[in-house]
Amino acid sequence: MSLEHILLGMLRTPATGYDLRAEFLAGARYFWSAELGQIYPALASMEQRGWLKSSRQPSPKGPQRRIYRRTAQGTRELRRWLASEPIMGTERFAYLAQLIFLGELGDLDQTERFLQQLREKQSALLELLDQVRQGTSGAAQCDSQTTDAEFHEWLCIMFGARAVGARVQWCDEALEIVRRRRASQKEKQK
């Protein structure tokens, strides 16, 4: 999956790079993150390819802002990407890299603290996703007045909630395993 295709999808209506970053923070961050330092070069590249056109417009405060619009060529590229088969990428979980190397510390208490903190963060995210999902689930699934965009966004939120729920469950299991390992080590020391 590429940031460029996600930006094409987000540009249903004209927007600035800053607007797109705000949209990432508001919802897209649950499946993809992007910083302004990534967004602006991607927008420039997409404009060079003819997928976008930009124009400068006055800003309510500060210098003029650049507004990006998807072109017909950009819409064709988005539709081509959407009609392709699901793209499987490699997910990156920095906390798993930390966990792999926590053995360097030789301290199961630290491992337990780490897993407990991870569980708390995942639980908070799960609670947020569940609130969003519950606020839209009935309408998104069945209501004929729900837009296709709302329905598909709900499907993504549902996926995110299930994935995060599985991570919370994994944290619980991992914490129990760490506690059993610690008890076993203490028993051997006697």
Interval 105-150: pLDDT, tens: 889 999 999 999 999 999 998 898 888 777 765 555 656 777 887 7
pLDDT at 104: 87
pTM: 0.72
| 33 vs 82, more confident | 82
Residues 6+ apart with CB under 8 A from 167: 122
CB 35 within 8 A of CB 7: no
Where in the chain are the domains? 3-83, 94-189
Residue 144: C-alpha distances to residues 82, 140, 148 (Å)? 23, 9, 9
- The amino acid sitting at 26 is A
Residue-by-residue DSSP string for 8-55: HHHTTS-B-HHHHHHHHHHTGGGT----HHHHHHHHHHHHHTTSEEEE
% of residues, the chain, pLDDT over 90: 41
CB contact burial 153-171 (16+ within 10 A = b; e otherwise): bbeebbebbebbbebbeeb
Interval 62-121: pLDDT, tens: 788 899 999 999 999 999 988 888 877 777 788 888 898 888 888 999 999 999 999 999
The CATH class of 3-83 is mainly alpha
pLDDT reading at 58 higher than 80: yes
Query: What average pLDDT does this structure show over 174-180?
Result: 96
Provide the mean pLDDT of the chain. Answer: 85
